Amino acid sequence: MARNPERRAALVDAAVEVLAREGARGLTFRAVDAEAAVPTGTSSNYFTGRDDLLHQIDARLHQRLAPDPAKLAELLTRPKDRTLVRELMHDLMARAARDRTGHLALFEMRLEATRRPALRESFTASVRGDLAQGMAFHRETGLPGGDETVTVLYLAMLGLLLEHLTLPGVLDGVLPGITVPDALVDLIVATVVPEK
């Protein structure tokens, strides 16, 4: 297998683009090579097969979609209350807007995991690890609510992200006076997160 880490990273990012645009059926080494503008056959020198490529996409998406450490540090200087949780959720939505492709690829990974048992196992562990990390962060930071709050918040925000990034018109005008997604984020946090 080829060892150029920069080229491997570029190929994985190209794979994310293909996955988000074409779905799992369109994710071929040839399509990744074309997206990365490299000679045909390059991807097959970097990945042992489709499963390896999907696992690399999973790892890369966790890096791409993670909060900016500087922004997170700035937010954590604020009081640890519902308002801070709201700001953290708005930051999540802003990151989703900046990297819509990454989130769409993440949704495609979920669908592909339903068809590939090995991917389902590793992707489930990956997503569950993220949820556990979110719970630990919430507890250690002293934010209001417990693991139940984090779980319901996770599910509500996942649903909002899915609708907003795939079918944004579904939520427009459903609740009069509620703008999508900003006021919906506020509503979710006000409904799910206790005052303190």
Do 99 and 182 lie in one domain? The reply is yes
Question: Taking a C-beta distance cutoff of 8 angstroms, is the pair 112, 54 a contact?
Answer: yes
Sign of CA dihedral 148, 154, 155, 156: positive
* Of 1-5, 33-37, 42-46, 88-92, minimum mean pLDDT range: 1-5
pLDDT digits (tens, 9 = 90+) for 51-107: 999 999 999 999 999 999 999 999 999 999 999 999 999 999 999 999 999 999 999
* pLDDT at residue 11, rounded to an integer: 98
CATH of the domain at 69: 1.10.357.10
- Return the closest-CA partner of residue 145 out of 76, 191, 92: 191
Q: Peptide bond preceding 181: is omega within 30 degrees of 0, i.e. cis? A: yes
Domain count for the chain, please give it: 2
CATH of the domain at 25: 1.10.10.60
pLDDT digits (tens, 9 = 90+) for 101-142: 999 999 999 999 999 999 999 999 999 999 999 999 999 999
* pLDDT at residue 168, rounded to an integer: 87
Residue that is written with structure tokens 């959720």 in the block: 89
Do 55 and 69 lie in one domain? The reply is no
How high does pLDDT run on average in the chain? 95
* Distance, CA of 149 to CA of 138 (rounded, Å): 9
Q: What residue numbers bound the domain in which 10 lies?
A: 5-61
Do 170 and 90 lie in one domain? The reply is yes
> Which run of H or E residues covers position 104?
helix 100-113
Tell me the pLDDT band of 1, cut-offs 50, 70 and 90.
confident
